[in-house]
């Protein structure tokens, strides 16, 4: 920068010249200052543009990442059936994808906030959009925490400000599990003169006499294992983290002894399902790996599920499910489990059930077998070639039309359901099997598609049975849903340690499954059940221990005038 001209070197200059030079110098300084300000503003604007470009580039990358994650989520949840994961694996995959999507959305929101903060014009600084408020359950206890300003003195000097409103924000909190020791003290009293005996209160009854756990702790361990699918070794780790180092083998001992004590209750539930007003049951089976000590490996046992749920036709009997452990999948086990039941069973077309519909059945009269349309549909989907099949596509459309009719009559009386099916569904079923037979003639029976078509064609009688009986459903999905719980427990625990361990699994799964079907919280029911069993209620009135009786006691409106569940 050039130095200003020094007029002191010329003292003889006229005053008007000095003034002219001074004015010119001031104008030059002003121009220089204006130029420097303009240059600084231009540099700032360029820096803001560069910063915004960086933000936008980052935002575009995050949006691209989010779109990819959403695409993966949709593919995992709604993609082709042939590419779908096992249900348990799918839940884990969706869980991780949802967490990744939430993380990316948070990163996008942070970048948007930075862009808004960099705006020099106030009207462009848009505040971040708030998440949509969700209501927390009303039954949860509320702890109010009021945060007051440091001072409410009015700046104008008029005194304290007055309260004109408030903002409320709900947040969900967690109180860690707390273990405690209950010390029972029973004082002894005696006559000071030794003229009478000793007086002492009677010791309270315990479910497991001579052991540490209360009925509440036993219920918690059982629910954690059989409802939340947390094996005992993991529970032992959690307990140790809370300062209660109890070995897994001790927990197993507690559960084994408890499992033996609940056996009569589960047996009673099964007796009710088989004989008390039941005309139709669902039956299914799933594998139950069991340790085989003699060979040092696992063998394959089975959980057989027997379920009653008459809500589809508005039946009066309460729903329930009982699981039976058996070492195999032979038909004799199905006959043994269903001994005493006469009516209809809803099953897949597994061959073990076939003899139950013949005079060879030893456990009662021949049963009617209603086959599951969902299984038939699944076989068609599985047989669909990768390049597609118009036969499978049309078959699925025809089956979907039947399900649409079923949706409209679910919960209606049996006579109404039968009438609608005779009027609407029968024609569709007749057309479906006639069309299926025509397609089967065009497809090799040795192909997967040919086998899937033959599967339904050769079992027409069982697939048509729902048309003539309003008590029967189109599929056995209800029992398949119920059987997922022990299947999840199997995946987490890998195997049962013994056949008796498999039977214990089945008993707990029966009680917890029946609780869920009746809208009962499993922990509350088991706590109450264990307390009643400890106090000898089993010998007084076993029917009062049923899950549906517990549900009715919680909701008096569901009780009839006689006191039994509606």
What residues pair up with 369 in beta bridges, in sequence order? 345
Q: Is residue 205 part of a domain?
A: no
Residues 256 and 398 in one domain: no
What residues pair up with 307 in beta bridges, in sequence order? 282, 321
Q: Is residue 169 part of a domain?
A: no
Say if residues 246 and 236 touch (Cβ distance below 8 Å): yes
The DSSP secondary-structure symbol of 327 reads S
DSSP 3-state of 536 = coil
Residues 463 and 398 in one domain: yes
Which of 486, 451, 479, 461 lies closest to 369 in space, CA to CA? Answer: 461
The pLDDT of residue 120 is 61
Residues 226 and 354 in one domain: yes
Residues 38 and 66 in one domain: yes
Residues 246 and 332 in one domain: yes
The pLDDT of residue 538 is 85
Q: How many residues does the chain have?
A: 566
Residues 362 and 432 in one domain: no
Q: Is residue 191 part of a domain?
A: no
The pLDDT of residue 352 is 84
Number of domains in the chain: 3
**Token representation of residue 62:** 């995050």
Q: Is residue 320 part of a domain?
A: yes
Say if residues 117 and 125 touch (Cβ distance below 8 Å): yes
Dihedral sign for Cα 43, 46, 52, 57, please: negative
The pLDDT of residue 495 is 44
Q: What contacts 475, CB < 8 A, 6 or more positions away? A: 346, 372, 373, 374, 375
Q: How far apart are the first and last CA of the chain?
A: 100
Q: Is residue 515 part of a domain?
A: yes
Residues 510 and 462 in one domain: no
The C-alpha atoms of residue 256 and residue 263 are separated, in whole angstroms, by: 11
The C-alpha atoms of residue 366 and residue 222 are separated, in whole angstroms, by: 38
The DSSP secondary-structure symbol of 423 reads I
Q: Is residue 291 part of a domain?
A: yes
The C-alpha atoms of residue 432 and residue 426 are separated, in whole angstroms, by: 10
Q: Which of 93, 124, 155 is the last residue of a domain?
A: 124
Task: Please report, to the nearest 10 degrees, the dihedral formed by the alpha carbons of residues 273, 277, 282, 288 taken in order.
Answer: 10
Residues 378 and 506 in one domain: no
Say if residues 321 and 513 touch (Cβ distance below 8 Å): yes
Q: Is residue 163 part of a domain?
A: no
Q: Is residue 53 part of a domain?
A: yes
Residues 460 and 522 in one domain: no
Which residue shows structure tokens 């039309």?
401
**Average pLDDT by stretches of 10, the chain with 566 residues:** 56 68 74 76 74 78 75 68 53 61 70 69 57 77 92 90 90 87 94 88 92 95 91 91 91 90 94 86 85 61 92 93 90 91 91 89 91 94 88 94 96 96 96 95 89 93 95 93 72 50 87 95 96 90 94 62 36
DSSP 3-state of 20 = helix
Containing domain of residue 88, as a range? 7-124
Residues 355 and 470 in one domain: no
The pLDDT of residue 492 is 47
The pLDDT of residue 76 is 67
The C-alpha atoms of residue 260 and residue 314 are separated, in whole angstroms, by: 35
Say if residues 66 and 104 touch (Cβ distance below 8 Å): yes
Q: Which of 457, 475, 493 is the last residue of a domain?
A: 475
The pLDDT of residue 467 is 96
Residues 467 and 560 in one domain: no
Residues 422 and 511 in one domain: no
Q: Which of 475, 493, 519 is the last residue of a domain?
A: 475
The DSSP secondary-structure symbol of 356 reads G
**How many CB atoms neighbour CB 514 within 10 A?**
29
């Amino acid at each position: 920068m050039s130095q200003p001209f020094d007029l002191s070197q010329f003292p003889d200059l006229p005053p008007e010249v000095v003034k002219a030079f001074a004015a010119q110098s001031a104008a030059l300084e002003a121009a220089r200052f204006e130029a420097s300000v303009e240059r600084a503003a231009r540099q700032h604007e360029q820096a803001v543009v560069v910063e915004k470009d960086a933000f936008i580039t980052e935002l575009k990358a995050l949006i691209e990442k989010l779109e990819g994650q959403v695409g993966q989520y949709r593919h995992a949840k709604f993609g082709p059936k042939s590419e779908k994961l096992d249900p348990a694996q799918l839940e884990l995959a969706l869980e991780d994808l949802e967490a990744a999507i939430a993380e990316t959305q948070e990163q996008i929101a942070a970048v948007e906030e930075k862009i808004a903060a960099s705006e020099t014009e106030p009207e462009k600084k848009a505040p971040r959009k708030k998440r949509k408020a969700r209501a927390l359950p009303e039954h949860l206890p509320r702890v109010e925490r009021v945060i007051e300003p440091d001072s409410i003195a009015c700046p104008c000097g008029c005194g304290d400000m007055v309260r004109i409103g408030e903002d409320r924000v709900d947040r969900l909190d967690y109180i860690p599990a707390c273990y405690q020791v209950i010390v029972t003290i029973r004082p002894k009293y005696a006559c000071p003169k030794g003229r009478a005996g000793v007086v002492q209160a009677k010791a309270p009854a315990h479910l497991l006499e001579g052991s540490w756990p209360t009925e509440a702790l036993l219920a918690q361990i059982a629910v954690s294992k059989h409802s939340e699918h947390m094996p005992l070794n993991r529970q032992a780790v959690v307990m140790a983290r809370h300062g209660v180092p109890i070995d897994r083998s001790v927990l197993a001992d507690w559960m084994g002894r408890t499992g033996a004590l609940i056996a009569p209750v589960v047996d009673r539930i099964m007796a009710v399902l088989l004989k008390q007003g039941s005309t139709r049951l669902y039956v299914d089976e799933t594998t139950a790996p069991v340790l085989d000590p003699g060979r040092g490996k696992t063998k394959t046992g089975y959980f057989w599920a027997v379920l009653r749920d008459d809500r589809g036709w508005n039946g009066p009997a309460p729903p329930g499910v009982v699981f039976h452990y058996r070492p195999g999948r032979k038909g004799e086990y199905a006959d043994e489990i269903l001994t005493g039941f006469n009516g209809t069973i809803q099953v897949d077309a597994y061959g073990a059930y076939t003899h139950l519909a013949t005079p060879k059945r030893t456990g009662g009269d021949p049963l009617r077998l209603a086959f599951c349309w969902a299984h038939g549909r699944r076989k068609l989907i599985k047989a669909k070639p990768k390049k597609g099949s118009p036969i499978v596509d049309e078959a699925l459309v025809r089956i979907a039309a039947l399900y649409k009719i079923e949706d409209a009559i679910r919960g209606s009386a049996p006579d109404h359901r039968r009438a609608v099916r005779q009027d609407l569904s029968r024609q569709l079923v007749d057309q479906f099997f006639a069309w299926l037979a025509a397609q089967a003639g065009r497809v090799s029976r040795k192909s997967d598609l040919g086998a899937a078509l033959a599967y339904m064609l050769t079992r027409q009688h069982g697939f048509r049975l729902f048309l003539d009986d309003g008590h029967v459903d189109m599929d056995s999905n209800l029992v398949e849903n119920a059987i997922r719980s022990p299947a999840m427990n199997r995946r987490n625990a890998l195997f049962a340690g013994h056949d008796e361990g498999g039977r214990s699994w089945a008993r707990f799964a029966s009680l917890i499954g029946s609780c869920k079907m009746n809208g009962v919280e499993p922990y509350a029911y088991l706590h109450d059940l264990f307390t009643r069993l400890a106090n000898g209620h089993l010998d007084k009135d076993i029917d009062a221990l049923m899950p549906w009786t517990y549900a009715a006691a919680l909701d008096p409106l569901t009780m009839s005038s006689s006191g039994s569940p509606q």
